[in-house]
Amino acid sequence: MKPVFLICFILSLVAGRSTASFGKCYAKCFIVCAITPGIPVGTCGAKCLADCLFIASSPMDLNHTDTRYFCKLGCATSRCTKFSTKKDPAEKKVESCVNTCDQTCMKA
């Protein structure tokens, strides 16, 4: 029963991802990752940042968008994942930190 629930939960996350805010996406992703056997909790922050950071790329500016995405991902991975623990994904702190990275990367 537990594997079925986990699969349904993950599918609901994927289906709702396009409308979810970064904070909600990150919290759900982090919780699922943290309870998944065999995945070190220390890797969940970076995994969920990569999964939940979404920049709508326009075909005319794809290279700039890619550069900004990777800048934001690198900044957020190095600065923002430290707030999350197995008991608390701290999505509001992480989201605020990610927004700071977004501003930093816009200047670059």
Within the chain, residue ranges assigned H as helices are 2-16, 22-35, 44-52, 62-79, 91-107
Enumerate the domain spans of the chain: 2-107
As a residue count, the chain comes to 108
- Whether the model clears a pTM of 0.85, i.e. scores above it, the answer is no
How far is 7 from 79, CA to CA, in rounded Å? 31
For 16-67, how does the pLDDT look when each residue is reduced to its tens digit (9 = 90+)?
Answer: 444 468 999 999 999 999 999 999 999 999 999 999 986 433 344 545 567 8
For 59-84, how does the pLDDT look when each residue is reduced to its tens digit (9 = 90+)?
Answer: 445 455 678 888 999 999 999 999 99
Q: Are 31 and 90 in contact (CB under 8 A)?
A: no
> What was the pLDDT predicted at 66?
77
